[in-house]
Amino acid sequence: MRGLPWRDFLALTVSVAVVGLGLGATLPLTALTLDQRGLGNHVVGLMTALGAIGILAVVPFVARWVARFGPRNSMIGAVAVAALATMLMQTGANLIYWGLLRFIFGAALGVLFTVGEAWINRLAPDGSRGRVVALYATTFTLFQLIGPALVALLAGRIDWPFAACGALFLLSIPGLALMPNHSHIVDNEHAADWKIVAPRMPVIILGAAFFALFDALALSLLPLFGMRHGIPVEQALLSASVMLIGDTTLQFPLGWLADRVGRARVHMGCGLLACLLLPLMPFAVSVPWLWWTLLYVLGGAAGGIYVLSLVACGERFSGQRLVAASAIVNATWGVSSSGGPLLTGVLMQSINVNALVLVLWLGAATFVASLLWEQRPAFIAKILARP
């Protein structure tokens, strides 16, 4: 990965990874606290949705804020707001109060992820963009996986758990402070025009939407799917972890492959693999070795779709348009991760538990169809070039 500014890369990656640790601890802590108060899953789902809505609400303004305050200051401000919102959850139990804090928390993360994804794309050399973005995403996911274990370790041992989780976010600020505030991610484009950016990224949008849906359903409804098919509760709960492990461990190999054979080919391969494997879930769930293998590979394929969507952003955009594209990706995440589980839950309740598979398959198939449609000019040109 020659040409990569390693100091900036490491500072940004480690800082965002620490945010992942705080996020991975805060989400299960919130769910656990609400459950201990005797509140139902619908309240937990509502709190999760409010965070996603916060992301959706803030992303139209991110490019403007970055242009005014700089990327480093924007990210530090977002971390501070996320930390404060988390800490304030310790000071009250009113659901409206918590809902407002979750909304603010989501908005702060929307700023953080939008700028971070645009910045890592700007740092990545063209020849190693797949590996650089994959390493960034892998590190974040790995730290996020540690978060729930940290909550389990500290449960009942500290009196102010939300204050402690908020403090975790603040640990990322020293690394961010090492970054320059005059990053070139905003200096080579005029004002970001969403009408120009959005039509060039249907594949990116659909890839992000699929993975956001996949991630949300894996964490919320996949255990229910497993239990309805008769597997023990412990194994059902472990299913989401196996998917996330696949996501974490396979991203760098996929990024390496994308740098070697082309991003579009690997992107298509991940989409086709998801379409082939998803229909096998109802049959594999009763065969343990097949179930775990299937979940691991599915997690990697789904994560690859998202990471390579981020890579595509860096291939197509620069400057403020790259920030705008990253903002659209995060807005897509907010919509898909808030509305997807709600719709899927209704379908699972009213039709069949296998509706989970159907929804995910339709998402993957739509992504593959969009990629085929995007590549049709090159395909037609190859046919016409044949003697």
**Binned average pLDDT, 10 residues per bin, the chain of 387 residues:** 77 86 78 71 70 81 83 91 91 86 90 87 85 88 78 69 86 87 55 69 92 82 82 77 88 91 92 96 91 94 93 83 83 80 79 89 95 74 52
Distance of CA 281 to the CA centre of its chain: 23
> Contact 198/59 with Cβ under 8 angstroms?
no
What backbone phi and psi angles, to 5 degrees, belong to 120? Answer: -65, -35
Of 121, 165, 55, nearest in space to 307 by CA: 121
Measured at the CA of 88, the angle between CA 82 and CA 89, to 5 degrees, comes to 95
Note the pLDDT of residue 30: 76
Note the pLDDT of residue 77: 93
Note the pLDDT of residue 186: 54
Of 303, 265, 298, nearest in space to 279 by CA: 298
Note the pLDDT of residue 60: 78
Note the pLDDT of residue 218: 81
Note the pLDDT of residue 190: 47
Q: Which residues contact 61 (CB under 8 A, 6 or more apart)?
A: none
Measured at the CA of 157, the angle between CA 152 and CA 161, to 5 degrees, comes to 75
Torsion sign (Cα): 81, 109, 17, 201: negative
Tell me the one-letter amino acid at 141: T
Note the pLDDT of residue 193: 60
Tokens of 77: 């401000």
Measured at the CA of 213, the angle between CA 208 and CA 216, to 5 degrees, comes to 120
Q: How far apart are CA 247 and CA 250, in angstroms?
A: 6
* pTM, rounded to two decimals: 0.82
Note the pLDDT of residue 304: 93
What is the set of domains in the chain, with CATH numbers? 1-187 (1.20.1250.20), 188-387 (1.20.1250.20)
Dmax (CA) for the chain in angstroms is 76
Q: How far apart are CA 105 and CA 47, in angstroms?
A: 11
Note the pLDDT of residue 266: 94
